[in-house]
Amino acid sequence: MNSRRTFGEHLSEIREKLLFSFGIFLLGSFIGYIFYNQILNFLITPLHSPLYYSSPAGGFDFAIKVCIFFGIAFSLPVFTYNFLRFIEPAILEKSRFFIFRFLIASLLLMTLGIGFAYFVGLPAALHFLGKFSSSEIKSLILTNEYLNFVIRYLVGFGVFFQLPLILLLINRISRLHPHRLMKLQKLVIIGSFSIAAIITPTPDFLNQTIMAVPIVLIYQLSILLVWYANRDISRVMRRFDNLIPNRLGIILENRDAYTWRKIS
């Protein structure tokens, strides 16, 4: 994109990219409609019970919401790509590779977080919440409430798994000290096992460990990445500090040699 382009041309490009992204969203929603039954089975597998709706159009509304969420997930990479292409001229060359690595790492961590939530966390949480049912109190889980719960749970874990990248970004702006982060790990461990003790279906230590260990490992990975980033920064600073005296010494030696030749 040329920097001399007019404001109207920029608006035209934005409109084209938004229309293209919206078209991909519609395509994703249509694909979600075609594979609605498969997506529905995927969503209700952790629940192990049927869903209900409380209005004549409840089933239709639920299907539309499922298709919309699938369309959003399907079009999000395209929207992100178009956004980056639009702002690319304003990004420094050396920063582009960092942004690319950041996005790849974010996608991988998001996938890990959603996978962990779906296969481990969500079944455990639903089992725990289901224990509050009794002969006098029966659960009647509605479609919209269940869909909102699942989406929030999956997205929440996906965002939580971004913690290493968040700390790296903070460290890039203002340097963090790994030893201070290490002092907080006791609270992280206690909090992780406390959360695991609440949402695990059984009170045994093994299930609690399965839930708590990934949270602790994510925090440890965050500390390790911050330490590694700071080590590289320190290495560059040491080289810079050593470079200045060496260059200064060469300059002084050359100056003295030039002065001696001039006197001679």
CB atoms within 10 A of CB 8: 8
- Residue-level pLDDT at 253: 52
Give the whole-angstrom CA distance, residue 238 versus residue 232.
Answer: 10
For residue 218, CA distances in Å to 113, 157, 165, 213, 222 come to 10, 11, 11, 9, 6
What CA–CA distance (Å, rounded) separates 216 from 190?
10
Nearest to 63 by CA among 27, 31, 32: 32
Work out the average pLDDT over 112-116: 90
Residue 123 pLDDT class (50, 70, 90 cuts): confident
| pLDDT of 262 above 60 | no
**Residue 87: pLDDT band by 50, 70, 90 thresholds?**
confident
Q: Cα separation of 18 and 117, whole Å?
A: 31
Given its phi and psi angles, is residue 263 left (phi above 0), alpha (psi -120 to 50 degrees) or beta?
A: alpha
Query: Distances from the Cα of 258 to the Cαs of 244, 250, 254, in angstroms?
Result: 21, 12, 6
Distances (CA, A) of 37 to 32, 45, 145, 190, 197: 9, 12, 19, 41, 34
Which residues sit opposite 52 in a β-bridge? 142
In this prediction, residues 17-30 reach a mean pLDDT of: 93
Q: Which residue did the predictor score with more confidence, 34 or 132?
A: 34
- pLDDT top residue among 171 and 21: 21
pLDDT in tens, 46-58: 888 889 998 889 9
pLDDT of res. 243: 47
Domain boundaries, the chain: 1-161
pLDDT at 72 (0 to 100): 94
Question: Is the predicted pLDDT of residue 155 greater than 70, yes or no?
Answer: yes
